[in-house]
A and B are shown apart, each in its own frame.
Chain A
């Protein structure tokens, strides 16, 4: 229990120290504290992880009674099982590396201490998200990481564009969060519990189909917000406004995988809702393709990676949609390795380029930045799906599951993967190969980054190479370590969905062959285009037709603006100026005026004329007399 407390509270402690003391701490000390607490959490995570690997049972512990009302009791509790252990390792492990990286990356920033306090807070909430033993504790983490994302996207708060991006991220996430809340309400209303073990027990004997469908569908809306799926993905590319370590940690490796984590955690519910799963697979594959096409046309190094992240997350959802939860988790892990490496590499490049992010102004950087180049290349090979790098195994597994269940989705996903290989190598070729296209001043400034930056890159590159070993396909090895390790978590779903692959070895080899060939062709295509022909991406305004449409991201942001944002602002303006001030308040004011006017008229009666009073009195008496005579007889 002490370990659990330490695991969660260490990052919070780091946040408080860095946040409250702020500039009173030297940058070195602040960096050491910030990274140190995460290292502490990582070590504790390792202890839990290896205990679970060693066969120890999962731990569920109540910390205190949180909300007990009427028919339900929500505890503040933690659940440490195989699934949370995997995420713990990713969050604290990669989190630690990125903290170290940030010491170098943020060194000259005046908000250094603030940056570390936010990062620590992020890890704290991420741990709550991963460790929560019920949906509500998970939701604390879920919204908490959203807050940190907001704070870090808008870290350079003097720039209102960045602040807009931060606000957009928070509000769009909140749309998803409303879905999450409603999903929780449906479950709570029907089963009077939100704890994972409680729900699992409640639905073990089968569940009402429509309850399951709606509950999981609303939860999936939450996942769409956090994991940037259509239609709620547009915040993620804008989120690149934040410092690059943030993009690597929050917007690539950890937070955006929360949606996948949530579905894995609640797999026993989703498995009972095949319709929702089907929707998830469709949304996933459409997002994967859609974002990949946009990635092909982007010229901002971080935007390419951002769309790539959206696309890869889509692939993970495809796996979940086929009930292949461990496959989704597998891709989360390998993606965390290579995408964090890519983002940190891009940060190293941006650092060297003095803030420049446009790949049209780069080129030939491998001469100056050999380590960054090598690690970036390794990660690119990994994401492109070339064996035996990590990305190959997890992506191949997703494609195999897709092939098994739905050939159309397999085709689209394969095409999206092909595009991925193309745009990633386009990025590598334009950034690191041929000759430098920036200004002389920039060229003069080019340098390899310091060790705090290159060390995390090297570690992540190594993981991008060997990470696939945790999930070897059946054609190579009969023992899929990750799948076996996670099997207790997905036990309830096993009967329903095909966790174990039923494809013959021949088909499997064929799929591997197709995927590899497709990747190689894409790379060759990119090579011809950007190395041999030395084509450069067209400048803005010179694109026409479909290319222009894709370059402008299908005008989705603009469409949202016209359909939702502008009308809302107009209604707000009109509602205040007209509806509220004139109509609603008008009724109030006029009823007031009416009574004043009536008063004025009635006042005339009290004229002081005794004769008039007497007349009225007599008339009154006669009136009463008549009333009594007619009605009371």
Chain B
């Protein structure tokens, strides 16, 4: 029952937010998101005390085909739900510094998106998972299209349309895979899928279909070309939702629906999957170096980071999987922080062109400090959250193949190069005309940063709870994968 409340509360909140009108909607949404965060913490607490009653719910839904409304939260799900409920209020708060046109629609779409995301992370029936997966696409499409920053409306709609169609096609492959699975097992519940007796050929076909669906969303090289434009054109609130939470859907999908369901197929493709992921790390990092736009640079950086997460997952080692979970949480926090820094620069100067910026540190020391901490977290400096993740991920990849881990490890060099270059060219040096009147952080902006920074250090210094919570779920997944 508890999990059901956690799932449906945002939907209710979306309706209430829409009804509350443009003036109040932001505050209502923030309050609702905060309540939702508390609810998810209660769920986490239940999980930690092995109190499973509230965390599993199954109810018959469609009789023919046999689809049940079943949701459950194990350690993996509960962590991603908490990530979502933690980030959504932060994202809502971060949008307050700017006047939002038609706020009630925007904020209710954000909450609707949260509902879908949580659904994705807790669904244990294939079709239910698919429905939430597709549902999540709708609000973000409208957020990107209608509230986008791009001045060129034509380009904006092309970019969002490409994103929409690309991921939709990816999902269709997943739908086909689910239909096929249903024809073989007569049920799409996780348990029956684990028990499905599939031959090698079927598994290979299914693995390819699932992989394509997830790879577009994550994205994994070479399915990433929708990303930079969409991140650039979407409003920052949308970019944060996309990069902070939505791409974790794809990574989560790998862990929950690909690895344990078609292990033979995964093993067959694994050299290809992990190589593509590692190519993405280096490719994204190198392309990030010369980017001229902060949001595009962060998009390529994010692409590189998630490549490492995917590589860790495909290493099929417990260290790689643990690293993936830790890094999913870390990446969510850090990327939201980084895009928020970009947003602040955009609000003050009206541009994200790195060459027009510079010297902001002279006039906005608080912002400079917050930004450098976020930068350091994204280059995985020890004591920040990303270090734990990268250490485990690279070690996981090392367990798979030494050379691949060295190539993947280039991210720590290249990451430092492009992030510090970007920081230097926007923040350091002498002030320029555009930046001379740069106001330092407002109270609400500072709050956003402080919350994120606390998360960065807490997870970096004491990651044990995260690892312990994820451990049983990952062990279970690995057991099915290596069966």
A contact set with B: CB distance below 8 Å: 22, 64-70, 136, 139-140, 143-144, 147, 150, 154, 157-160, 163-164, 167, 170-171, 174-175, 177-178, 181-182, 185, 188-189, 568-569, 571-573, 575-576, 580, 584-585, 587-589, 592
Contacts and interface: CB of A to CB of B under 8 A. Distances in A.
19 contacts: A69-B319, A69-B392, A136-B391, A140-B383, A144-B381, A144-B383, A147-B376, A150-B420, A158-B429, A167-B420, A167-B424, A171-B413, A178-B406, A178-B413, A181-B391, A182-B406, A185-B405, A572-B286, A576-B291
B399 A569 contact: no
B409 A182 contact: yes
B416 A170 contact: yes
A69 B361 CA distance: 40
Nearest to A70: B318
B319 to A, nearest CB: 5
Chain A interface, >50% SS class: helix
Nearest to B475: A70
For the complex of A and B, the 4 pairs showing the least CB-CB separation, nearest first, are A585-B225, A140-B382, A572-B290, A70-B318
A157 B424 CA distance: 9
Contact of A158 (B286, B359, B416): B359
B346 interface: no
Contacts of B406: 178, 182
Contact of A70 (B287, B291, B322): B322
B458 to A, nearest CB: 13
Given A143-B382, A170-B416, A171-B413, 16 more contacts: A65-B464, A69-B322, A69-B467, A147-B376, A157-B429, A167-B421, A167-B424, A171-B417, A171-B420, A174-B413, A185-B398, A188-B395, A189-B395, A569-B290, A575-B283, A592-B165
A175 B388 CA distance: 19
Nearest to A571: B286
Nearest to A146: B381
A154 B428 contact: yes
Contacts of A182: 398, 402, 405-406, 409
A175 to B, nearest CB: 6
B129 to A, nearest CB: 26
B180 interface: no
B412 interface: yes
B358 to A, nearest CB: 9
A171 B416 contact: yes
B283 A158 contact: no
Contacts of B429: 157-160, 163
Contacts of A171: 413, 416-417, 420
Nearest to A141: B382
B467 A163 contact: no
B429 to A, nearest CB: 5
Interface in B398-422: 398-399, 402, 405-406, 409-410, 412-413, 416-417, 420-421
B385 interface: no
B142 interface: no
Chain B interface, >50% SS class: helix
Given A147-B376, A174-B413, A160 B424 contact: yes
B432 to A, nearest CB: 12
Nearest to A160: B429
Contact of B319 (A70, A150, A569): A70
A158 B429 CA distance: 4
A178 B415 CA distance: 12
A144 to B, nearest CB: 7
Contacts of A70: 317-319, 322
A165 to B, nearest CB: 11
B362 interface: yes
A37 to B, nearest CB: 19
A576 B225 contact: no
A147 B377 CA distance: 12
Interface in B451-465: 462-464
A66 B286 contact: no
Nearest to B463: A67
A22 B430 CA distance: 21
Contacts of B286: 568, 571-572, 575
Interface in B274-330: 283, 286-291, 317-319, 322
Given A167-B420, A171-B417, A572-B289, A67 B467 contact: yes
B166 interface: yes
Contacts of A147: 376, 381
B412 A575 contact: no
B335 to A, nearest CB: 20
Contacts of B395: 185, 188-189
Contacts of B72: none
Contacts of B165: 592
Most chain A beta carbons < 10 A, residue from B222, B318, B392: B222
Interface string B358-371: 01011001000000
B394 interface: yes
A622 to B, nearest CB: 30
A178 B412 contact: yes
A160 B405 contact: no
B471 to A, nearest CB: 8
B420 to A, nearest CB: 5
Contacts of B464: 64-68
Nearest to A72: B319
Contacts of A144: 381-383
B225 A584 contact: yes
A571 B291 CA distance: 12
A170 B420 contact: yes
Nearest to A139: B382
Nearest to A172: B413
Nearest to A147: B381
A572 B282 CA distance: 11
B406 to A, nearest CB: 6
Contacts of A139: 382
Given A69-B322, A163-B424, A189-B399, A157 B361 contact: yes
A30 to B, nearest CB: 16
B459 to A, nearest CB: 12
Nearest to B470: A69
A569 B283 CA distance: 13
B233 to A, nearest CB: 15
A164 B429 CA distance: 11
Contact of A67 (B388, B412, B428, B430): B388
Given A67-B391, A160-B429, A588-B225, A175 B413 contact: yes
A149 to B, nearest CB: 13
A75 to B, nearest CB: 11
Contacts of A178: 406, 409-410, 412-413
Contacts of A189: 395, 398-399
Nearest to A188: B395
Nearest to B322: A69
B435 to A, nearest CB: 13
A147 B291 CA distance: 24
Contact of B287 (A66, A177, A572): A572
A143 B359 CA distance: 26
A569 B424 CA distance: 17
A358 B398 CA distance: 49
B409 A181 contact: yes
Contact of A576 (B290, B359, B365, B467): B290
Nearest to A569: B290
Contacts of A136: 391
A70 B312 CA distance: 14
Interface in B180-231: 222, 224-226
Nearest to A583: B222
Nearest to A565: B417
B75 to A, nearest CB: 14
Contacts of A584: 222, 224-225
Most chain A beta carbons < 10 A, residue from B166, B318, B402, B420: B420
Contacts of B413: 171, 174-175, 178
A415 to B, nearest CB: 35
A573 B290 CA distance: 6
Given A158-B428, A181-B409, A143 B398 contact: no
